[in-house]
Amino acid sequence: MKVRRRAHLVCRWLPDGMLVGIPNERRWMKVNKTLFELLDGARAWVDAGELAASWGAEHAEQAGKAIAAMLAAGVLIPDERPESDGLPKLWAYWGITAERFHVDSRDANYLVDSPERRAAAEAIVAEGAPPPIFKEYPGRPVVLLPRRPLPLATAIDDVFVARRTHREFTDGGVGADQLATILFYTFGPQRFLDAGLFGVQQSRVSSSAGGRHEVECYVVSYRVEGVPAGLYHYSPRQHALELLRDDVAEQTVADLSFGQEPSYRGAFTLFTTAVAARLAWKYRHPRAYRLWMYDAGHYGQTFTLTCTALGLGAFQTVAFKDSDVERFLGVDGDEEFAVYLLSAGVPRAGASAQPSDTPPAPPALVV
């Protein structure tokens, strides 16, 4: 039988050796120098008998028992197991990192309606003020957007039915009023609330965990009337665009998004990011890492519905080069990371909702 060291292990050092365990399982095995060398010898698939024999005839039996113990503990895995690295099929596809995050982020105590809630909130506030609720770039050139949004008079049921992901746009531009309306309803605060110990809280069209609204918006303008081409940061407080770069071409966004044409062929592209500290300041458990994912989706849906109500086509994707996008935006990827790419423009008449290279499903397949 061939064996191999499990690809992902958790190690905890002790004065006289270390403990080795399997992620998400409360099983630990004390490993001394000898056992460590056995593990090191099983970095790739190796016959268990040959591994034991490599310690010499006088130690082979003892080494064989150690190998059996490590197999029982799951520190070593046999090659005949049907799962990948000891993981069920789902996690074999997604990997040990996703599996561990999923398990570690379950069953968090949110202290809802709990006597401990106020004490926990007071402890958080006592550590210091929360991060600013708005991000701004003082001193940058500013494009002030129209204050009055365009009326969204389309019936809501018509908007729901018409909403789809557009992949083909004309070369036509959009007006500043249209862009301003989209940004106002997607990212602008509609009112401000008193959140008690947690200070001022924004209320926006999109829901957000704890009203933290950690999502930031960066706009790349190509064909927007009154907004010169370039990269901007949208300031919700000012309802304005702060110019970051004026040398952005469509090809730049194409390179960032694996050449997906709808990501840069519309009138403008939005990159959204998550400012992690806004969430982490209030929610201090691993499950909170999920929250920016939910919030990014809420914003994305508000964006697409608003575009649809204005007669524009919207596109959204998470297929982009994270680190390259963060460098392009000039943000620290450890503190503020890219989460979503949204774009919009004038949809080409008669354009199909299907990707251009995907035929409609035949009736038999649909049934």
| pLDDT tens digits along 267-276 | 999 999 999 9
- Residue 60: half-sphere exposure toward Cβ, Cα within 13 Å: 9
Identify the DSSP state of 267.
S
Query: Coil, strand, or helix at residue 245?
Result: strand
80 pLDDT band, cuts 50/70/90, is: low
In the chain, domain spans: 2-104, 124-345
pLDDT digits (tens, 9 = 90+) for 95-112: 777 877 888 888 888 888
Topology at the third CATH level for domain 2-104: Outer Surface Protein A; domain 3 (3.90.930)
DSSP calls for 53-93 = HTT-HHHHHHHHHHHHHHHHHTSEEETT-SSBTTB-HHHHH
C-alpha to C-alpha distance for 72 and 63, rounded to whole angstroms? 14
Strand partners, 18: 13, 31
CATH topology agreement for domains 2-104 and 124-345: no
Query: Coil, strand, or helix at residue 260?
Result: coil
Spell out the alpha helix ranges (H) of 74-154. 89-94, 96-104, 116-126
The reported pLDDT for the residue numbered 355 is 53
* The dihedral formed by the CA atoms of 108, 113, 119 and 120, expressed in degrees to the nearest 10: 20
pLDDT digits (tens, 9 = 90+) for 248-289: 999 999 999 999 999 999 999 999 999 999 999 999 888 888
CA nearest neighbour of 352 among 95, 152, 137, 167 = 167
pLDDT digits (tens, 9 = 90+) for 174-210: 999 999 999 999 999 999 999 888 888 999 999 999 8
Burial 118-135 (b: 16+ CB within 10 A, else e): eebbeebbeeeebbebeb
Identify the DSSP state of 227.
B
Class of the CATH domain delimited by 124-345: alpha beta
Report residue 296 CA to chain centroid gap: 8
Identify the DSSP state of 262.
G
pLDDT digits (tens, 9 = 90+) for 222-237: 999 999 999 999 999 9
Residue 131 has pLDDT above 60, yes or no: yes
C-alpha to C-alpha distance for 126 and 147, rounded to whole angstroms? 38
CA nearest neighbour of 216 among 175, 258, 192, 244 = 244
Identify the DSSP state of 317.
E
pLDDT digits (tens, 9 = 90+) for 306-364: 999 999 999 999 999 999 999 999 999 999 999 999 999 999 976 555 555 566 667 66
For the entire predicted model, the pTM comes to: 0.77
Strand partners, 218: 233, 271
The reported pLDDT for the residue numbered 231 is 98
Identify the DSSP state of 182.
H
C-alpha to C-alpha distance for 301 and 316, rounded to whole angstroms? 9
CA nearest neighbour of 200 among 237, 168, 228 = 237
Q: Are 266 and 345 a contacting pair, CB within 8 Å?
A: yes
Strand partners, 13: 18
Q: In this structure, how many other beta carbons lie within 10 angstroms of the beta carbon of residue 211?
A: 20
